[in-house]
Amino acid sequence: MAIMYVKQKKASPKDGTVKYYPILKTIRQVGEKEVAQLLSEETTLNPREAEMALAQLEKVMLRLLMAGYSVKMGDWASFHVTATGEGSATEKECNGSKVKRIRVQCRMSKTFLEKLQGADLQLVQDLETKTKKKTTNAAAGE
């Protein structure tokens, strides 16, 4: 498996020089049911149990974050909430109603990110070429 990328041409805003950059692309989004299936293959859970565990994880995470906790998931990630809002002229006017948006931040561990740095990269065009060859060969009866 590899992370897919395309080549994108961009001009520098400073001097107008053009360079090509590799831009990572997502092949598709994997849903909860498929994640549960993959999780069941790595554990003693059956796919339905894994799906239920993921659904319950969402409920537990929400409850903990809404109670003001940060959540650490093993040695690979931690989650906490942040907020953006309006400033107030006085301390007395500053209250919770000034919060306009709450976000969840996920911080991946250094070890997790280091492992990700070792990912294989594949040009999208190469994948398309391989797919076309397989389709052509299959149609030709090879």
Q: Give the tokens for residue 139.
A: 């149609």
Q: Which residues contact 120 (CB under 8 A, 6 or more apart)?
A: 1, 2, 3
pLDDT class of 105 with cuts at 50, 70, 90: very high
**Per-residue pLDDT at 1:** 78
Residue 142 lies in a domain: no
Structural domain count of the chain: 1
Residue 63 lies in a domain: yes
Residue 93 lies in a domain: no
Q: Is the Cβ–Cβ distance between 18 and 117 less than 8 Å?
A: no
Separation of alpha carbons 120 and 140, rounded Å: 31
Q: Note down the domain range covering 56.
A: 31-69
Q: Higher-confidence residue: 12 or 123?
A: 123
> What is the mean pLDDT of the segment spanning 21-25?
93
Q: Is the Cβ–Cβ distance between 6 and 122 less than 8 Å?
A: no
> What is the mean pLDDT of the segment spanning 56-82?
96
pLDDT class of 12 with cuts at 50, 70, 90: confident
Residue 37 lies in a domain: yes
Residue 64 lies in a domain: yes
Residue 119 lies in a domain: no
Residue 94 lies in a domain: no
Residue 10 lies in a domain: no
pLDDT class of 130 with cuts at 50, 70, 90: low
- Strand-strand pairing, 77-85 and 99-108: antiparallel
